[in-house]
Amino acid sequence: MAQQFSLFADDPQPKRKREPDGKATHAFDPATLPIPDKLGPPTRCFGTSSWVYPGWDGGVYRSVKAYGSSSRFSDLCLAEYARDPHFRCAGADNMYYVRPSSRRKLLEKYASQVRPLPEKVALCPKVFHELTVSRYTPAQQEEWRIPDPINPHFLDPSFFLEEVAIPLRDELGEYLGPLILELQENDLHEAEFCRLLEYFLSEIRKQFQGHISVELRTESHLTERYLSILHSHGAGHVLNAWTKMPAIGVQFAKMQAVHKDWPDYVVRALLRSGMRYAEGSKWAPYDRIHQRAEDVRSDILQVLRSIPLDQTAYVLVNNHLEGHAPTTVSDLQAMLF
């Protein structure tokens, strides 16, 4: 039986609004829902990797059917997600697949859904893949119709500014959280990788001062030189739970060994060590916890308890970690607050 994760503590199983003929109404507007206070201090920003999951019905979402259609649910459900007391941020992972410059109307729609709230809910977009992949895999080439495996826009500062950063800044404004620069696993030599990264950051800082956090998928790149480059340009490192990366606690210790003071901390709890992404996909529709990742939970709590309360930390949890990201978030908050 699915675990219930409710928006309102006194309403564990919200009732669906029905018309006289017994059908769920299609006129539901999530902007009319009440707005409970957020849990915990404002510097502890919890959220999920995305928010459009019908499997969260009866918890984060009072009634998915009340939206009337799957497209209407996708269009409007951010307003309901953002009202949940557990969430101060959300991962906009869909921006990984499109140029934000071509989705300005969608970004403005997102901003309009979080703007009415008394407390800010930040959106944390993944940076478009044409900036983060150095060499495409055959599967990526086929899926995204890319003829050449070598990506000419990898860590291209001009492309980043024009196609990603400036459109996001313009349309999301104060609701733009850290940009997640998820760099696909690659065979670049560490010195060459650091040279490319330093040039990228030094160039973009001439026009863009927003928050950027780099997420590695190549363990050999997690070096003192890499971390020093990030810190010198006011960028952060994403503490990520991922199949081929060291534990979050190990990454955090390396960060602290280089510098104690970072602009902010971003944690992305994606997968348990050694687990393939496809394994977590089997947990769809992501309506309950399937397997608790106790080691990942412990590391996240260690990070949040170690850093000063006035330093902002973003914690983004993926359904693939345990099966139901909202419950993972609520469990972590119950242990922390």
Contact 336, 40 (CB under 8 A): yes
HSE, side-chain direction, 13 A CA sphere, residue 131 = 30
Q: How many domains does the chain have?
A: 1
pLDDT for res 27: 74
Looking at the domain assignment, is residue 91 inside a domain? Answer: yes
Alpha carbon separation from 8 to 2, 4, 28, 51 (Å, rounded): 17, 11, 18, 18
- Residue numbers of the domain that contains 298: 30-336
Place of tokens 């971390």: 227
Give counts: helices (H), strands (E), the chain. Answer: 13, 8
Give me 125's structure tokens: 């977009």
Report yes or no on 323 lying in a domain: yes
Closest by CA to 59, choosing from 326, 333, 331, is 326
184 is a domain residue: yes
pLDDT of residue 26: 54
Asked whether the whole model's pTM tops 0.85, one would answer yes
CATH code, domain with 139:
3.20.20.410
The 3-state DSSP class for residue 123 equals strand
Is 130 part of a structural domain of the chain?
A: yes
* Closest listed residue to residue 219, CA positions, set 246, 238, 193: 246
> Would you say residue 315 lies in a domain?
yes
- Tens-digit pLDDT profile for the chain (337 aa)? 344 444 433 333 333 444 444 444 457 999 999 999 999 999 999 999 999 999 999 999 999 999 999 999 999 999 999 999 999 999 999 999 999 999 999 999 999 999 999 999 999 999 999 999 999 999 999 999 999 999 999 999 999 999 999 999 999 999 999 999 999 999 999 999 999 999 999 999 999 999 999 999 999 999 999 999 999 999 999 999 999 999 999 999 999 999 999 999 999 999 999 999 889 999 999 999 999 999 999 999 999 999 999 999 999 999 999 999 999 999 999 999 9
Per the domain annotation, does 232 fall within a domain?
yes
Does residue 282 lie in a domain region? yes
Q: Is residue 38 part of a domain?
A: yes
Cα Rg of the chain, angstroms: 20
